Structure 1
Amino acid sequence: MSFSLEKKEPCGRLLHRLKTEPKYFQDTQNGLKDFEVRRNDRDYQAGDLLELAEWTPKGFTGRTLTLRIKYLLDDARFCKEGYVVLGTEEC
């Protein structure tokens, strides 16, 4: 579940704006979840930024988190075809 707004940040990193469901948003905010499983349709790279926007079927809640990709797992032995696991950290 991602929406396709991307822009270049002044420091040269790419910012990926992504929708996320409330349960996963809360777990990330609470420090329980430090990864994202995403379709690999954006050429994610270590150092890129993720802006997670909490989203429900009624729309966006207005809550966001900004994270940095610190690790990218793109191995067919461990990831469903076309997907990656992004290790994240707070900015």
Structure 2
Amino acid sequence: MEHHLKINREFFDPVLKGIKTFEIRFNNRNFQVGDLILLNEWDSSSEVYTGRKVRGQIMYITDYEQKEDYVVFSFKLLHENMVV
């Protein structure tokens, strides 16, 4: 399964640089290890997508110490599918 997710502009560049390799998300999508994610950069000040996207694959999921129905998942970037 592939999940299309909004990511704020301030977090997008750290993802591209490989510094930010996790997301904390409300688990209304039933995220699973192996799922693909498409992170779409969002400019919250103008409330528009910038057009920059990056694709990754979920590698690990935990709900340890999270709010109810939230998970943390780590992901790896799939550079062959990256669009910037």
- Shorter-normalised TM range: 0.7 to 0.9
The C-alpha deviation readout for 1:47-69, integer Å capped at 9, x for no partner, is 00000000113200000010100
Which consecutive residues of structure 1, in runs of 5 or more, have no partner in the other structure?
A: 1-13
**Dislocated runs of 4+, deviation >2 Å:** none
Paired residue total: 76
Residue 88 (structure 1) aligns with = 75
1:42 and 2:37 aligned: no
- What percentage of residue pairs aligned between the two structures are identical? 38
CA–CA distance in structure 2, aligned partners of residues 90 and 21 of structure 1: 17
Residue 9 (structure 2) aligns with = 22
Residue 73 (structure 1) aligns with = 62
Aligned-residue offset at 1:39? 0.4
Instruction: Report the secondary structure of 2:13's partner residue.
Output: helix
Which consecutive residues of structure 2, in runs of 5 or more, have no partner in the other structure?
A: 79-84
CA–CA distance in structure 2, aligned partners of residues 25 and 56 of structure 1: 10
Residue 19 (structure 2) aligns with = 32
CA–CA distance in structure 2, aligned partners of residues 22 and 56 of structure 1: 6
Normalising by structure 1, we get a TM-score of 0.79
CA–CA distance in structure 1, aligned partners of residues 63 and 77 of structure 2: 21
Greater relative contact order, per chain length (Cα 8 Å cut-off, separation 6+): 2
Instruction: Report the secondary structure of 2:19's partner residue.
Output: coil
Counterpart amino acid of residue 79 in structure 1: Q
More helix by share: 2
